[in-house]
Structure 1
Amino acid sequence: MHIGKTIRIERIFNRDTGRAIIVPLDHGVTVGPIAGLTDMRDTVTRIVEGGANAVLMHKGVVPCGHRARGRDIGLIVHLSASTVLSPFPGAKTLVCDVEEAVYLGADAVSLHLNLGDDSERDMLADAGRITRDAARLGIPVLAMVYGRGPKITDEFAPDVVAHCARVGMELGADVVKVPYTGDPESFASVVAGARIPVVIAGGPKTATTRDFLRMVFDSVQAGGSGLSVGRNIFQHKDPTRLLQALGKIVHDGWEVDEAMKGLEGLGE
């Protein structure tokens, strides 16, 4: 692997565990300035204090999230977008390129693909170009890949998720983000078929914090490389303490009950 890419990956993945806690903050383009994303600098500060490995955001909010003091954190600049206001919300369009992301200080870039969408071929072509440009510059690529389209009846089905993970790997991504399949056994098959680090998405907010921690724990036990989760973290009552608990699970191998002790007083 190119030494530059190795160095940048280690700014995102814990070099001792090979795992990462990534907090996406790109929701503002998709759904607007939702709770937790109005004061970006405060949000990033809470995330850093919790020990997350990286944040992920669109190019325009990079200056808003930059802090001039304190612990550093990895930066992933997201390159593709769509909005819920569009009649075609599943069609992701490139709004940034690798060189611009590097200019902004990115350690890595990310893009979103919806397999099965009517515009799938355009997103696949974009992925090919992005991974080519990123490889030339030694920039890691995180591919968020989901099965969403007229032929997809269950985007969490193990065969669909495994296909998504494999597409990310075969198109040249260094990391792939997919939904959790619901149980360690089926998710282990997803990881085995990908051959690159697989991190789980958060999806809708879970019913309880314990449910969220259990999902993360099970995914890691199945061979997953961590998580890339937004709303379940930045909309939590205490994102900093939640991230500290997640760090115990992802990097220190703690059980869910042990990690929950650090969240006493916040409810289940």
Structure 2
Amino acid sequence: MNDRGRAGSRESSSFGGLEIRLRRLFSPDTGRSLIIPLDHAITMGPSGGLERPRSIIEAAVLGNADAVMLRPGMVGCLSGVGAEKLGVILALTGRLATGVDHVLLNSVEYAASQAADAVCGEFKFGSSGDLENARIIAQLAERAHMMGIPVLVTVYSRPEALDRLGSDAYAHACRIAEEIGADVIKTSLPDDPAVIAQCVESTSVPIVVAGGPPDTSTDLEEFLRRAVNQGIGGAAIGRRAWAASKPVETIRGLAAAVHGEHAHV
């Protein structure tokens, strides 16, 4: 696979610290990652499986995921379920049940005190607050990189951006994320080889697809196989993993799709 699909492609004055922590998030065999996010409850409420965060983390371990994403206050749920095998990404921006734009909720310093392997901030390209959110994430990235902590930027292309730019909005959003400091980009992409190729070619850091294609009738595992063959660096699958009837089996299948013959058994 090409270098864009591998962890640690960003050059940095704190490259040693970034590299060490990124290795906790990506498989050394494939350079790809399956991340299980469970940071949704402050927006969705504790339902649909989120009532039991420790069970989600245990399913991630048993299903051979590479990392989990959660909020700093939930770090205690990592205890006693074998989570030392997982990379830990702490989401520092968020919103409640209204609006779309995020604010900074927790500091990089606090995330470091909780042994974060990476921190995450989110913005929506095309929203009314996208510039302010980009500023928040850029400053978060500056602080994190000075401490040798990698930054995962979650970015989604809003209908406003898609109406204005068409499918070019996806690559534009990814490039914004990289330019404000992303070491890893998490984004939702359609099941369109041309769009995926454009995003991969427009960036030099790994892209992980969020949730799979918007059309939930698409076979998610097959979509991921095609995406990683095009240079995508993995996936971040939340609800379609931990809300499944058999979360461990579902996560194991997703890990096999991401890592192919190098997946754990």
Q: What is the TM-score of this pair, normalised by structure 2?
A: 0.87
Which one of the candidate residues 193, 196, 201 is aligned to 2:210? 201
Contact 1:78 1:111 in 2 (8 A): yes
Q: Distance in 2 between matches of 1:226 and 1:248?
A: 11
Q: Distance in 2 between matches of 1:151 and 1:158?
A: 9
Q: How does 1:79-228 map to 2 (within 5 A)?
A: 79-84=92-97, 86=98, 89-148=99-158, 150-153=160-163, 158-202=167-211, 207=216, 211-228=219-236
Instruction: Return 5+ residue gaps in structure 1 as ranges.
Output: 255-261, 263-268
Misfit runs of 4+, over 3 Å: 68-71, 149-155, 203-208
Contact 2:21 2:150 in 1 (8 A): yes
Paired position in structure 1 for 2:76: 63
Q: Are the structure 2 counterparts of residues 151 and 14 from structure 1 closer, same or farther at C-alpha, using a change threshold of 3 Å? A: closer
Q: Are the structure 2 counterparts of residues 228 and 247 from structure 1 closer, same or farther at C-alpha, using a change threshold of 3 Å? A: same
Paired position in structure 1 for 2:244: 236
Cα deviation digits, residues 30-71 of structure 1 (max 9, x gap): 111121111111111111110100000111111123326465
Contact 1:114 1:149 in 2 (8 A): no
Which one of the candidate residues 37, 40, 58 is aligned to 1:45? 58
Q: Distance in 2 between matches of 1:12 and 1:150?
A: 33
Identical aligned residues as a percent? 32
Cα deviation digits, residues 133-183 of structure 1 (max 9, x gap): 11101101000011226454499x531110111011111110001112222
Q: Distance in 2 between matches of 1:198 and 1:60?
A: 27
Paired position in structure 1 for 2:3: none
SS in 2 for 1:16: coil
Q: What is the Cα deviation at residue 216 of structure 1?
A: 1.1
Cα root mean square deviation, aligned: 2.2
SS in 2 for 1:139: coil
SS in 2 for 1:227: strand
Instruction: Return 5+ residue gaps in structure 2 as ranges.
Output: 1-11
Q: Are the structure 2 counterparts of residues 69 and 114 from structure 1 closer, same or farther at C-alpha, using a change threshold of 3 Å? A: closer
The one-letter amino acid of 2:187's match is: V
Contact 1:17 1:251 in 2 (8 A): yes
Q: Distance in 2 between matches of 1:121 and 1:206?
A: 28
Q: Are the structure 2 counterparts of residues 168 and 253 from structure 1 closer, same or farther at C-alpha, using a change threshold of 3 Å? A: farther
Paired position in structure 2 for 1:248: 256
- The alignment covers a number of residue pairs equal to 250
Q: Distance in 1 between matches of 2:154 and 2:229?
A: 21
Q: What is the Cα deviation at residue 81 of structure 1?
A: 0.6
Cα deviation digits, residues 77-111 of structure 1 (max 9, x gap): 00111122x2xx21100101111101111100011
Identify which of structures 1 and 2 has the higher relative contact order when contacts are C-alpha pairs closer than 8 Å and 6+ apart.
Answer: 2
The one-letter amino acid of 1:105's match is: A
